[in-house]
Amino acid sequence: MIELRGLTKVYGPTKAVDDLTFTVRPGIVTGFLGPNGAGKSTTMRMILGLDRPTSGEALIEGKSYRELKDPLRTVGALLDAKWVHPNRSARAHLQWMAASNGIPKSRVDEVLGLVGLSEVAGKKAGGFSLGMSQRLGLAGALLGDPKVLLFDEPVNGLDPEGIVWIRKFMQRLAAEGRTVLVSSHLLSEMALTAEQLVVIGRGRLISDSTVAEFVDRSSESTVRVRSPQLDALRSVLTSQGLTVREDGSSVVPALVVVDSTTEIVGNLAGAQGIVLHELASQRGSLEDAFMKLTGDDVQYHATGVTGPAVAQPNAHQNVMGGAL
C-alpha cells in the first residue's frame, strides 16, 4: 500500500505538489494521470525518497522509503528507462542491483526471462532500443519480488504487441495482491489497464475514483439515432423536453440525444410510428472526461484553430522549466 498524507513540494514561488492525500491499494492497477507539469513525476520521486517533501509524508507499507531495509524487496520502480550505464550488459546491470540489496544472482535470470530479454542479456544496454530499455527497467523493478510497484510511462517506446503484453503483465501483478501505481499519457491504454484513477492538476488532487465513476461523472451520456424520418423524430424528442443536436461526426444524417436512454428514445419513436435505422447509447471516453476536468490545468495552450499552433506558457508553469 502507498499512502500520501498532505504531500507538498515547493520550488521557489511554485508549488509543484500541493497537499496531496490519497491511498493506492493493493490488488488493482491504479492509474496516475495529469497534464504535463501536474506534478506526477515529482510525486513519484518523493514516494521513492529521491526528492524531499517540503511538508507531508509518503509511506510505503507504513514506512517512508528511507526507513526500508533492502528497499528493492519492498518497492520496485521504473521512472527512467535509460537510467543504466551504457557499457554494462543487461545481466551485469541487474546483478549490480541485486548485490546492493542482498538479492540472489539466480533472480537476475528469472526476471530477464519474465520480460523477454534472456536472448540479449549479455549485450550492452547502451545499444538497446527504447522498448528494450523499458523491459530492462521493468526487470529491475521486479528484481526484489516487491509488494509495491511504481511505473512512469512504462509503455513508452513499445510496439503494439509490447503494449498489450505490459498491460496484461501489470494486471497480473495486481491480481497477485501487489500495489501497482502507473503514470501514463496514453489515456486509451489507461482505460484498458487501470481500475482506479488518481488525477491531479497543478499539483492538486482533482479526482480519486474508479475509471467508470470518473468517466460517468465527467462526461455526458448520449443516444445516437438514425431514421428516414429525422425531422419528425426531432420534433417528437424536443417536444418532450429532450436536448437534441446533429451528429456532426457522422457522414450519414443522425441525431444525438443528450442525457437520455435508448429505451426513452425508442419508446417515443415507436409511439409515433417512426422508423429507426439505428439506436445506440454512447458513453463518454476517458479522454473526454480527462480533458473536461483538466482543461484549465494544462501547462501550454494553443492560441488558434487555423494556421500553425503557438504554445503559450500557462501562468502556473513550474519554475524548473519542464514537466514535473
Each residue's pLDDT tens digit, 20-60:
999 999 999 999 998 888 899 999 999 999 999 999 999 99
Banded pLDDT at 235 (limits 50, 70, 90): very high
Mean pLDDT of 251-261: 89
Give the chain's domains with CATH numbers: 2-217 (3.40.50.300), 220-282 (3.30.70.260)
Lowest mean pLDDT: which of 90-94, 112-116, 130-134? 130-134
Whether the pLDDT of residue 94 is over 90: the answer is yes
List C-alpha distances in Å: 226 to 246, 266, 306, 324. 10, 11, 32, 46
C-alpha span between 160 and 232 (Å, rounded): 46
Whether the pLDDT of residue 317 is over 50: the answer is no
Provide the pLDDT for residue 281.
83
Q: Closest Cα to residue 150, out of 60, 64, 214?
A: 60
Mean pLDDT of 294-302: 54
Provide the pLDDT for residue 309.
39
In this structure, the strands spanning 55-60 and 311-313 are unpaired
Whether the pLDDT of residue 73 is over 60: the answer is yes
Provide the pLDDT for residue 298.
53
Provide the pLDDT for residue 83.
82
Q: Closest Cα to residue 29, out of 146, 195, 159, 178?
A: 195
Q: Which residue has the higher pLDDT, 89 or 317?
A: 89
Q: What is the pTM of this model?
A: 0.75
Banded pLDDT at 287 (limits 50, 70, 90): confident
Residue 216, burial from CB neighbour count under 10 angstroms (0-12, 13-18, 19+) = middle
Whether the pLDDT of residue 297 is over 90: the answer is no
List C-alpha distances in Å: 309 to 145, 290, 304. 46, 22, 6
Whether the pLDDT of residue 89 is over 90: the answer is yes
- With pLDDT > 70 as the criterion, what percentage of the chain qualifies? 90
Each residue's pLDDT tens digit, 133-169:
989 999 999 999 999 999 998 888 788 888 898 899 9
Provide the pLDDT for residue 215.
78
List C-alpha distances in Å: 243 to 248, 256, 258, 275. 15, 8, 5, 20
Whether the pLDDT of residue 118 is over 70: the answer is yes
Could you give phi then psi for residue 199, rounded to 5 degrees?
-120, 130
Mean pLDDT of 237-243: 94
DSSP per-residue letters across 184-229: -S-HHHHHHH-SEEEEEETTEEEEEEEHHHHHHHHS--EEEEE-TT
Q: Could you tell me if 39 and 183 are in contact, meaning their C-beta atoms sit under 8 angstroms apart?
A: no
